[in-house]
Amino acid sequence: MMKPIGHFLWVIAEGYIPGQSFSQQKEFISHETACILNVCDKEAHIEITVYFSDREPAGPYKVNVPPKRTIHLRYNDLNVPEMIPRDTDYSSVISSDVPVIVQHTRLDSRRPELSLFSTIAYHNNL
């Protein structure tokens, strides 16, 4: 049995979904992803709050990660309680009831020459 790995609270200060994509094929659409790994034996109940520069935060967005599973969650797909606006600066805080690990990735395909980045998210040690 794997012992828990990770943290309960993560932050991705960068956030921006380009509104354009050179292709409408799913893997080439401009997107932002939070990769969330749950190595625990219990399901993780995740809540995401999205912060903006000029309005109140949105959320919480809720998603579950089954035990011993990973999800690569596209912010593009978050629709409840509201869609994440495109071409808009945001940040997100991700909390979980079991420890998880979060990595942040963007694919920018505004131009056909893709640009990708990825970074481990910030985790609070408290």
Q: What's the CA gap between 6 and 9, in Å, rounded? A: 9
Instruction: List binders of a copy of itself among 76-105 (CB under 8 A).
Output: 87, 89-91, 93, 101-105
Nearer to a copy of itself, 62 or 118 (CB): 118
Q: Does 8 bind a copy of itself (CB under 8 A)?
A: no
Sequence-distant (6+) residues with CB within 8 A of 3 are none
If DSSP codes are grouped into helix, strand and coil, which group holds residue 58?
strand
Q: 109 vs 8, 29, 47, 79, CA distance in Å?
A: 32, 6, 28, 22
Among 17, 36, 44, 48, binds a copy of itself (CB under 8 A): 36
Structure tokens at 69: 């599973």
Applying CB under 8 A, what is the total number of residues that bind a copy of itself?
55
Mask for 42-81, x = binds a copy of itself (CB under 8 A): ---------xxxx-xx----------xxxxx---------
Q: Does 39 bind a copy of itself (CB under 8 A)?
A: yes
Q: 29 vs 3, 83, 109, 110, CA distance in Å?
A: 36, 16, 6, 8
Binding residues (CB under 8 A) for a copy of itself: these are 2, 5-6, 9, 11-16, 27, 33, 35-37, 39, 51-54, 56-57, 68-72, 87, 89-91, 93, 101-106, 108, 110-125
